[in-house]
């Protein structure tokens, strides 16, 4: 057998080894933590488990989880995208202005937001994949560039009198079916599709290989640069979808704070969900659970009447624990 064939076979074996199990230990822990938090919050603030509280919480979880799916793909490939909040801002304001000024109906407006997000994400992908500069440097630069573009579109004012075009993604009867918010249901479906793609397709498994060792992945015949471009474009597209959900927040006014801090929530959900920040391992199901935990903490702090700053403390604490645990596991793997 030739040397190249041996390397290809070894890469295939290694790719199978780094696929996560059907249910990871991190996911089990997260489910336990969420259940405990919900029980405690339900006992201390009975309104927390009321339908009028759970529904809005799930609506708020949805955009974090949806962008988190794309971010999971990015971090699995050993990258990162800190510009997603700014992408949400640009997609939201462009779509909002189109709704107000041109009266776009639902589907054209949704398509516009998706295209704007995908285009900005693809720009990140081109720069990261072919620019040979670390992703955090590239996306930190584009984060500021995209925010500048968004502010220019805002024109130093808010977007007012937005029609209820995206109520399908919002709260209340128009935004739910059988009590399940449409936005959260879409997040679950996207997560399921992403889980299947990562586990059962060659393209999905190749992302783990790229994150584990990009050079070895190239030797195995994986087209590394196009796949990296793809995951950033996908993340931008999902940010465009999340922007539409942001426009269904129940207000007819969009201000310049839209998208601010969204990247921190998303990265927190991904890392807490068990995706390794150094690449090569990750779970979109864990990301969905991480998003639910992040939003549960934020909502719980508010309902308990505690200072809102405590939400940042608890989320930061969860991130430190998750990253620390991941580093310990990585050292253990290298020793074995």
**What domains are defined for the chain?**
31-38+52-327 (1.10.3470)
Kindly state the percentage of the chain with pLDDT values over 70.
93
Whether 15 and 213 have beta carbons less than 8 Å apart is answered as no
In this predicted structure, what is the pLDDT of residue 327? 81
Q: 3-class secondary structure for 103-143?
A: CCCHHHHHHHHHHHHHHHHHHHHHHHHHHCCCHHHHHHHHH
pLDDT in the model for residue 157: 87
Q: For 31-43, what is each residue's pLDDT tens digit?
A: 999 999 999 999 9
Instruction: State how far the alpha carbon of 140 is from the alpha carbons of 16, 44, 64, 86, 134, in Å.
Output: 33, 41, 19, 10, 10
Residues in the chain: 336
Is residue 322 pLDDT above 70, yes or no? yes
Instruction: Give residue-wise pLDDT tens across range 181-194.
Output: 999 999 999 999 99
Higher per-residue confidence, 316 vs 120 = 120
Distance separating alpha carbons of residues 301 and 336, to the nearest angstrom: 42
**pTM above threshold 0.85:** yes
Confirm if 61 and 292 have CB atoms less than 8 A apart. Answer: yes
Higher pLDDT, 52 or 69: 69
Write phi, then psi, for 253 (nearest 5 degrees).
-120, 135
Tokens read off for 17: 């080894």
In tens, the pLDDT along 260-318 reads: 999 999 999 999 999 998 899 999 999 999 999 999 999 999 888 889 888 889 888 88
Instruction: Give the per-residue pLDDT at 1.
Output: 46
Exposure string for 219-246, b = 16+ CB within 10 A, e = fewer: ebebebbebbbbbbbbbbbbbbbbbbbb
- Segment 230-266, tens digit of pLDDT: 999 999 999 999 999 999 977 789 999 999 999 999 9
- For residue 86, the model assigns a pLDDT of 98
Those residues whose C-beta lies under 8 Å from the C-beta of residue 208, and which sit 6 or more positions away, are 15, 18, 19, 76, 198, 280, 281, 282
Residue 336's pLDDT is 65
Chain-wide mean pLDDT for the chain?
Answer: 90
pLDDT at 3 over 90: no
Residue whose C-alpha is closest to residue 211's, from 37, 76, 34, 45: 76
Of residues 308 and 98, more confidently modeled: 98
The predicted-structure confidence for 206-220, as pLDDT tens digits, reads as follows: 999 999 999 999 999
């Amino acid at each position: 057998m030739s040397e190249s064939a041996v390397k290809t076979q070894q890469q295939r074996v290694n790719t199978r080894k780094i696929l996560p199990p059907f249910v990871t230990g991190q996911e089990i822990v997260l489910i336990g933590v969420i259940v405990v938090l919900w029980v405690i919050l339900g006992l201390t603030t009975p309104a927390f488990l009321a339908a009028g509280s759970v529904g809005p919480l799930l609506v708020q979880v949805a955009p974090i989880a949806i962008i988190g799916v794309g971010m999971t793909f990015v971090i699995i490939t050993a990258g990162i995208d800190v510009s997603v909040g700014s992408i949400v801002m640009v997609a939201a304001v462009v779509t909002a202005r189109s709704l107000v000024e041109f009266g776009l109906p639902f589907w054209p407006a949704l398509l516009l937001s998706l295209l704007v997000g995908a285009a900005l994400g693809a720009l990140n992908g081109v720069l990261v994949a072919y620019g040979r500069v670390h992703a955090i440097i590239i996306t930190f630069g584009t984060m500021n560039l995209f925010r500048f573009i968004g502010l220019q579109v805002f024109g130093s004012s808010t977007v007012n009198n937005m029609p209820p075009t995206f109520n399908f993604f919002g709260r209340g009867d128009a935004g739910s079916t059988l009590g399940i918010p449409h936005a959260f249901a879409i997040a679950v479906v996207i997560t399921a599709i992403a889980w299947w793609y990562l586990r059962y397709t060659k393209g999905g498994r190749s992302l783990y290989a790229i994150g584990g060792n990009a050079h070895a992945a190239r030797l195995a015949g994986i087209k590394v640069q196009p796949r990296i471009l793809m995951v950033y474009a996908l993340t931008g597209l999902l940010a465009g979808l999340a922007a539409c959900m942001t426009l269904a927040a129940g207000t007819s006014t969009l201000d310049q704070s839209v998208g601010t801090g969204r990247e921190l929530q998303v990265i927190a959900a991904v890392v807490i969900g068990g995706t390794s920040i150094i690449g090569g391992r990750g779970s979109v199901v864990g990301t969905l659970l991480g998003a639910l935990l992040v939003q549960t903490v934020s909502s719980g702090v508010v309902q308990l009447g505690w200072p809102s700053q405590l939400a940042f403390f608890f989320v930061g604490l969860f991130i430190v624990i998750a990253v620390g645990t991941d580093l310990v596991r990585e050292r253990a793997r290298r020793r074995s």
